Structure 1
Amino acid sequence: MKQKLSRFDFTMIVVGLVIGMGIFRTASTSAKAANDPNIFFIAWLVGGFIALCGALTYAEIGSRYPVTGGYYRIFSYAYHPSIAFSINCIILISNAASLSGVALIGSGYISQVIFNQPPSDNVISLIAVSAILVFYGVNLMGLKMSAKTQNVLMLIKISMILMLIAALLIPSTHYKGPIDTTGKPVEFIDYIKALGLALVSVSFTYGGYQQTINFGNEVATPSKNIPKGIFMGIIIIIGLYLLVNYSYYTVLGFDDLRNKNEIAKIVATKLFGEAGGNVFSALLFLSVLAYVNVLLMSNPRVMFAMSEDGVLPKVFQKKSAKRDVMVVSLTVFAAMCIVILQFAKTFDEILSFTIFLDCFGMATSAGAIFMLRKRTKHLDGTGIYAMKMYPLLPIIFILAYTFVGISIAIDKPDTAITGIIVLAAFMLIYFITKKLNNGKNVQVSDTTEA
């Protein structure tokens, strides 16, 4: 019998896809971009609203089109296979880079606990590779084992966030100094620019829920559990993010929040002392493992779907007979992560490149709802999920990611140009491969007739 995910399993996957390393690092990056506490908190509120609009949009997409590897298939179904191939290739690269970067940062935290002196980059890289290999093995054991592991790791991660939030209840840890307003936006256009740049890191921190539609019919009663799991997961995430950011602001003050990177450990050290800060670093590494695990669960399903559509070799469809695991797709994606790990750049560079690439995927995938509504009218009234306030919510979501993409292009034009070149290159590869395959098919046909 095929393994199925329960609503709780699916909700934890949603939370796991979204809450990665971001909330322990990007609050500092967004504060630096905002340069003003008001813009900082507005960005997190706006980001939460955008995420909710996107979550409800993807909930309906997943309900109307519940197939494995859905994040790839909706591009092919609503647009053209070349767009499906190129965008999903850059998303796979983006996800692998994100996983590698997060694993590297987490390894840096845990290495501070294991070693008395700062270890070499090679040692930190080895720890990150080991984490990927461990959860590669976990995923080889089957979907239910991966889901159970994810549930445990997510409970640990949520407990860590609750510990950070608990600092709000301890006045002795709170910052009591003045707020530095140097660099604060003055003109209205400056506020808009600051908001756009703050939303880059906020979008990264809120992103990931769109990949839940990759699980499609692997969820029990998908028409009900996909939308409810996504909605419940996003509401949990919004609440946790707003509270933990307010805790950072209250304990550190805005100046330290925007100028220091290891903000979570600093808060934990203020709460529990140096030893407590070290324990928190160890737990932070576990939260990284949850992110590694859930991306290793999700992305091979995209490669499987691309193989079924003939844009990747058939070998990517291979599954283990006993546990129904996509062995080849899982192995190749894990290998991609390890290779990229060796070439990982700074977190900020990975962040801008990842989000710029994601802007293409998020806007176009959400736009597929308009085509799906037309093509699946026969499903209306059959119990599937249909969002309220349509088409306003998907339009808001698409415009928001267009705004973020433009903000990156203005601030870092080289990053934007690189992203566009990569996208165009994959589209070119698709048409070249298609032409070569058609040529081979014609030759085979001629030989058969002869």
Structure 2
Amino acid sequence: MNQPPLTRRIGLLQATAINMIDMVGIGPFVVLSVVAQLMQGPWFLYAWLAGAFLSFTDAMIWSELGATYPLAGGSYNFLKESYGPRWGKLTSFLYVWQTLIQAPLVIASAAIGFAQYAGYIFPMSTIAGKCVSGGVVVLIIVLLFRKIETIGKISVLLWAGVIITMVWIIASGIGYGHFMAPVANMNTGLHFNHAFAATLGFASVKTVYCYLGYYNVCHLGGEITQPEKNIPRSMFISIACIAVLYLLLNISVSSVLPLSTIQNSKFVVSEFIRTTHGEAAAKVVTVLILWVAFASVFSATLGYSRVPFAAAQDGAFFKVFAKVHPTRHFPYVSLLVLGATAFVFSLLFRIESVINAILAVRIVTQFLAQAVGLLLLHKKNGRSFFKWRMPWFPVPVIVAIIIWIAIFCSTGLHMIASGLLVIIAGVTVFLIKAKANKEWPFLPR
């Protein structure tokens, strides 16, 4: 029985909105204090600049691959094509394998952050917080159970809430009177040495997490109109806008609150608005922050649900994931499985541990693998093969590889071991599957 095809209905505006609401989740509002704690000085803005630089550089890799292979599943297709008919089977399988773990972690992290920030308005017990985070995941699944054009309209609405929230926070800092002071003082007492580089690495793990999602449009490649243009444009527009918003957000908060308050606050933005506008306004901005967190879960779940679907359609994953809803035309089995796993994770974990785990699991099997794979594709097919071509190739690719390795090392030994364990488990499952089906590397002589 043939499955109904995905339809290309998402334009540049909707694609950009989907990227941006995935990027601006609860992350910047929770991570702001953590980064300030790690950096221990006014130079914490450098960590946000480092995250933006890596995102721009890595987006060039995603743009070449996404514009050339605009299919559902994103990285699954990129890795399969990059490493050829043999090793491509293994690398693409490992990506889908880790997606079943890290995608629910991403969704759960936003849901957990939602429940944490809701505590500013409604103080709650640990159990009540878990109920809230789990309820957020369930509601997201309900909203995504519909046609893609409807989802595009919902994305734009959620995106508007994100922009309104960020603009209000930034305007509050500007109006308070000392807006540029953090920029003027960001080098005060700073020494560019090995200790600063190491600290910047640890802090950048957190800021990079806040930028993740700029590539979400690639997972929806089979549903994007004019993908060779809209996929790269939506990514670079998203990163540029979010980088400016993140920097202005941090400058606004640090221009009003002392560094010690920022470092020790669980609700730093709410306390910032309470200082500038009073308690009632602080509760309103907290509600808007919850809107932003909800929007992020919505976008992330939408994009990731297409990954197991694409692999299953290709015959490289369990067939049940290839099922498309007969009337609403979306991969509902993939959506339900990822949502159920995220629901469980939202009940089990804390947001601090989830952030490091997300990056440790993904860097090797996705970001590094794609960068190396792009170099292999260039060698095999030549530069003219690509629908979009990055400037100064291959410098951005090499720079991205070096930075991703540094970020991976900065996640900590425990998370590095966990990431490698996921890879080993994936290779084991792949070999068992290949032997049972008499596939490479167990082809009959």
Residue 421 of structure 2 aligns with which residue?
421
| 2:96 maps to 1:88 | yes
| Cα distance change on mapping 1:375 and 1:19 into 2, 3 Å | farther
**Greater CA drift, 321-330 or 102-111:** 102-111
Residue 69 of structure 2 aligns with which residue?
65
| Cα distance change on mapping 1:108 and 1:46 into 2, 3 Å | closer
Mind listing any 5+ residue stretches in structure 1 that lack a counterpart?
A: 446-450
1:126 Cα deviation (Å)? 2.2
**Greater CA drift, 313-322 or 363-372:** 363-372
| Cα distance change on mapping 1:112 and 1:406 into 2, 3 Å | closer
Residue 15 of structure 1 aligns with which residue?
20
1:41 Cα deviation (Å)? 1.7
SS state of the match for residue 67, structure 1? Answer: coil
**Distance of 1:406 and 1:378 partners within structure 2:** 32
SS state of the match for residue 390, structure 2? Answer: coil
Residue 3 of structure 2 aligns with which residue?
none
| Cα distance change on mapping 1:241 and 1:186 into 2, 3 Å | closer
Residue 404 of structure 2 aligns with which residue?
401
**Distance of 2:372 and 2:266 partners within structure 1:** 36
The answer to whether the 8 Å contact 1:74/1:365 transfers is yes
SS state of the match for residue 106, structure 2? Answer: helix
1:163-186 residue CA offsets vs partner (Å, 9 max, x unmatched):
111122223687999xx99xx876
Residue 134 of structure 1 aligns with which residue?
139
Residue 388 of structure 2 aligns with which residue?
385
1:135 Cα deviation (Å)? 2.0
Mind listing any 5+ residue stretches in structure 2 that lack a counterpart?
A: 1-5
SS state of the match for residue 202, structure 1? Answer: helix
Amino acid at match of 1:429: V
**Distance of 1:161 and 1:367 partners within structure 2:** 36
| 2:301 maps to 1:293 | no
Following superposition of structure 1 onto structure 2, how do residues 268-417 of structure 1 map, counting pairs within 5 Å? 268-344=273-349, 346-360=350-364, 361-377=366-382, 380=385, 384-408=387-411, 412-417=412-417
The answer to whether the 8 Å contact 1:61/1:372 transfers is no
Residue 46 of structure 2 aligns with which residue?
42
**Greater CA drift, 361-370 or 238-247:** 361-370
SS state of the match for residue 25, structure 1? Answer: helix
SS state of the match for residue 20, structure 1? Answer: coil
Following superposition of structure 1 onto structure 2, how do residues 226-237 of structure 1 map, counting pairs within 5 Å? 226-237=231-242
1:392-415 residue CA offsets vs partner (Å, 9 max, x unmatched):
11211111111111222xxx3122
**Distance of 2:117 and 2:40 partners within structure 1:** 27
The answer to whether the 8 Å contact 1:200/1:352 transfers is yes
The answer to whether the 8 Å contact 2:62/2:215 transfers is yes
Amino acid at match of 2:197: I
1:41-93 residue CA offsets vs partner (Å, 9 max, x unmatched):
22211221111111122111111111111211212222322222223322331
| Cα distance change on mapping 1:322 and 1:156 into 2, 3 Å | same
**TM-score (structure 2 length as normaliser):** 0.89
1:200 Cα deviation (Å)? 0.8
1:296 Cα deviation (Å)? 1.6
Amino acid at match of 1:273: G
* CA RMSD, Structure 1 to Structure 2 (Å): 2.6
% same residue: 23
Amino acid at match of 2:324: K
1:242-272 residue CA offsets vs partner (Å, 9 max, x unmatched):
1111112211132222222321111121222
Amino acid at match of 1:212: V
| 2:78 maps to 1:74 | yes
| Cα distance change on mapping 1:60 and 1:267 into 2, 3 Å | same
**Distance of 2:35 and 2:96 partners within structure 1:** 27
The answer to whether the 8 Å contact 1:18/1:207 transfers is yes
| Cα distance change on mapping 1:50 and 1:176 into 2, 3 Å | closer
| Cα distance change on mapping 1:396 and 1:174 into 2, 3 Å | closer
Amino acid at match of 2:396: L
The answer to whether the 8 Å contact 1:138/1:145 transfers is no
